[in-house]
Amino acid sequence: MTSNRVNTFNNIPLSVLDLAPIAEGSDASQSFKESVELAQHVEKWGFNRFWLAEHHNMPGIASSATSILISHIAGNTDHIRVGSGGVMLPNHATLVIAEQFGTLESLFPGRIDLGLGRAPGSDQATAYALRRTLNMGPNDFPMQVNELQDYFAKEPVSRVKAVPGQGLAIPIWLLGSSDFSARLAAQKGLYFSFASHFAPAYTIPALKLYRDNFQPSETLQKPYAMVGVNVIAAETDEKAQYLASSHQLQFLNIRKGLATKLQPPIDNMDEIWSPMEKAAVEQSLDPRTTIIGSPETVKRGLAAFQEATQADEMIVSSQIYHLEDRLRSYEIVAELMD
């Protein structure tokens, strides 16, 4: 699969969410090299988008300066769409994001997506360090989205202009793990992406809310929803379960309040977690949205999730310790596409 066309699975495109993981024994520099290699491979394999997510104060995730990393990835690829999944808008002055993504769109025309979240992507202390004040928060998110749309308008109302940014058709996506962004995306007629890869229980209600309340806009005439899914694919179910332990350890350590890099896989998670901890992790990593297994297992899982959600697109995250195993996992998914 080396053509420039976007391939599909069950007639919908698949995309990639990369957390720019910093593996134990590695550093951010190596993480960025691996993200470039991953982006170049998935572009050849026919994936639609390559998104990066803003996180702060997390030793295992290198994508804190999201717009800079988007530029690095776009500059080292040819045609795949590159964007944020997402930028946590309350952390920033809206004008700065408009200018940053206006710059990206000017450098890489027709290839940039702006996905927006309203969570801090960090703890309260880090949020304060980013903003210097907590007066601006998630409740101001709708106002900031309005401001951003105005900055991108051909004839903005604001006296302040985003240069570059004004008049650029940059797709805005609202990201969510609850009903808030689903409702706002429907109201504003925007693209919507749901974080089903870590908030599976709310997926179907959020999608229904978005579709039932969608108001057509200049951007979209009908709703367009993308859902997140974790995929750990390998040649056998057993190897995939082994590789998936790195992702499980990551969630377990978050639950314990431990800040760690992405850990190497282990043979037996039951030696590490208690039954209560296992249940808590598996609540977030639900088998319907965290698909672990052989090519046939992954094919069945993706088909079932697409059928359940009627998603217009799925975005795949694969937190796998070794780059070669991560590449192979995405290659297996690519081999399932048309």
Tell me the per-residue pLDDT of 266-315, one tens digit each, with 9 for 90 and over.
999 999 999 999 999 998 899 999 999 999 999 999 999 999 999 999 99
Give the pLDDT score at 121.
Answer: 58
Residue type at position 333: V
Give the pLDDT score at 122.
Answer: 62
Residue type at position 170: I
Are the C-beta atoms of residues 313 and 13 closer than 8 Å to each other?
Answer: yes
Residues near 232 by beta carbon (within 8 Å), at least 6 away in sequence: 240, 243, 244, 247, 290, 291, 292, 293, 318, 319, 320, 329
Give the pLDDT score at 133.
Answer: 61
Residues near 262 by beta carbon (within 8 Å), at least 6 away in sequence: 21, 22, 23, 24, 60, 246, 250, 319, 321
The partner residues of 14 in beta bridges, in order of sequence, read 314
Between β-strands 172-176 and 112-117, what pairing exists: parallel, antiparallel or unpaired? parallel
Tell me the per-residue pLDDT of 95-139, one tens digit each, with 9 for 90 and over.
999 999 999 999 999 999 999 999 765 677 887 788 656 566 667
Q: Which domains does the chain have, with CATH numbers?
A: 8-336 (3.20.20.30)
State the Rg of the chain over Cα: 19
Tell me the per-residue pLDDT of 162-218, one tens digit each, with 9 for 90 and over.
999 999 999 999 999 999 999 999 999 999 999 999 999 999 999 999 999 999 999
pTM: 0.95
Are the C-beta atoms of residues 231 and 298 closer than 8 Å to each other?
Answer: yes
pLDDT band, residue 2 (cuts 50/70/90): very low
Are the C-beta atoms of residues 118 and 171 closer than 8 Å to each other?
Answer: no
Give the pLDDT score at 119.
Answer: 79
